[in-house]
Amino acid sequence: MQKKQEPSRKGTERGRNRDDRRQAADDRRRDDHKWDDRKREGHKRSGREQGDYRRDDRKWNGRPQDERRGDDRKRYDRDARPAEPRENRELPENLIPGRNPVLEALKTGRQIEKILVQDGATGSIGKIIATAKAGGVRIDFVDKKKLDLMAGGTPHQGIIAVVPGFDYAEVDDVLAKSEEEGRLPIIVLLDDIEDPHNLGAIMRTAECVGAAGVIIPKRGSSGLSPAAVKAAAGAAEYLPCARVTNLVRTIEELKERGYWICCCDMDGQPYDRCDLQGKLAIVIGSEGKGVSRLIKEKCDFVVGLPLRGRINSLNASNAAAIVLYEALRQRGGTQR
């Protein structure tokens, strides 16, 4: 009987190596399926969970397992984390967002470097483009993402004008404005108004009643930011806004010029029983603290608004609008 030939050691080792490679390939495919399942479920793997079904001593593409594991985490974090909402931020003063503010800036002849218009924007955009072309202003058409990035959360209505920094007026400019035809000798002083929307709304109302201008302090108060200019709806192009270092000193200067200083606060006399004629400077306090004690002491009289509800204060821009229109009513509505 012929003796059965034994397999050679070389062939046995070759077969064993081939089986090991197949097994390693199966393990990698199985691991990849598990990784994909975990990504779909939204779970982030920890090092302990990885160790449950991956061997630490295995290599892939010539790199140690620990390095590959770190790369997987980075790739997973980048792909799976939710996008964070963009927070509203204060814009530079050389940007004017919104259709009405841009159109008013064009009408007043303000220097404009360029206007960015959203692709495909319709409506009043056509009128703005025609006005800009007539004035020789450069127009660039961009996508909405660029405008959103520049606006930083401020509504832009598909258009943003890039202008030089806003030039604040001087107190003498405000006083000279009060002498113009159609203007009332009324000046609004704002004591630490921090909300740019309130500043813009007050400027809009002051322009509508024909006031001479607005004076704000340099510190502690909102400036003419794009949000304030947009809330003013074009009033910032017609109404001078002055910034002063010391509001108390400015009040004393106005008194020397013959102005009566009126403080708007809760503990004052009813606004409709006070004499608001003649040269008048109305002081509006901040949203939370109201008019500061030192400034209130410098005022000639205090007017208040009746409050019959449960809320004990009005918005600063609303209070300013009521007092301004009462001053206009006492002047006969249209007469100075």
Same domain, 210 and 280: yes
| 160 close to 147: Cβ distance less than 8 angstroms | yes
Same domain, 60 and 131: no
More confident residue, 223 or 16: 223
Tell me, yes or no, whether 2 lies in a domain. no
* Boundary residue ending a domain (80, 110, 141): 80
Which has the closest alpha carbon to 227: 98, 102, 86, 85? 98
Cα angle 91-94-97, degrees, rounded to a multiple of 5: 65
More confident residue, 30 or 189: 189
User: What is the rounded CA–CA span in Å between residue 235 and residue 220?
Assistant: 22
Same domain, 199 and 323: yes
Same domain, 288 and 183: yes
How does residue 258 score in pLDDT terms, banded at 50, 70 and 90?
very high
Looking at the predicted structure, is the pLDDT value of residue 88 above 70? no
Same domain, 111 and 56: no
Tell me, yes or no, whether 195 lies in a domain. yes
User: What is the rounded CA–CA span in Å between residue 180 and residue 193?
Assistant: 27
Tell me, yes or no, whether 232 lies in a domain. yes
Same domain, 114 and 186: no
Tell me, yes or no, whether 128 lies in a domain. yes
Which has the closest alpha carbon to 230: 85, 91, 89? 91
Give the best-scoring range by mean pLDDT among 13-17, 84-88, 259-263, 307-311: 259-263
Same domain, 179 and 284: yes
DSSP conformation letters of 204-257: HHHHHHT--EEEEESSSS--S-HHHHHHHTTGGGTS-EEEES-HHHHHHHHHHT
CATH code of residue 204: 3.40.1280.10
| 167 close to 192: Cβ distance less than 8 angstroms | no
Lowest mean pLDDT among 31-45, 48-62, 290-304, 319-333: 48-62
Q: What pLDDT score was predicted for residue 33?
A: 62
| First CA to last CA distance, the chain | 135
Domain containing 32: what range? 9-80
Q: What pLDDT score was predicted for residue 11?
A: 53
Same domain, 54 and 126: no
Same domain, 312 and 187: yes
Tell me, yes or no, whether 86 lies in a domain. no
Q: What pLDDT score was predicted for residue 47?
A: 46
Tell me, yes or no, whether 306 lies in a domain. yes
Same domain, 326 and 177: yes
Q: What pLDDT score was predicted for residue 8?
A: 52
Tell me, yes or no, whether 87 lies in a domain. no
Tell me, yes or no, whether 154 lies in a domain. yes
User: What is the rounded CA–CA span in Å between residue 270 and residue 303?
Assistant: 6
Domains contained in the chain, number: 3
pLDDT tens sequence across 192-240: 888 889 999 999 999 999 999 999 998 878 888 778 888 888 888 889 9
Percent of the chain with pLDDT over 70: 74
CATH code of residue 126: 3.30.1330.30
pLDDT tens sequence across 265-306: 888 888 889 999 999 999 998 877 888 999 999 999 999 888
The pair phi, psi for residue 35, each rounded to 5°, is -65, -40
Q: Count H helices and E strands in the chain, helices first.
A: 12, 12
* Boundary residue ending a domain (116, 132, 162): 162
User: What is the rounded CA–CA span in Å between residue 82 and residue 252?
Assistant: 56
Same domain, 186 and 321: yes
* Boundary residue ending a domain (162, 188, 208): 162
Same domain, 182 and 158: no
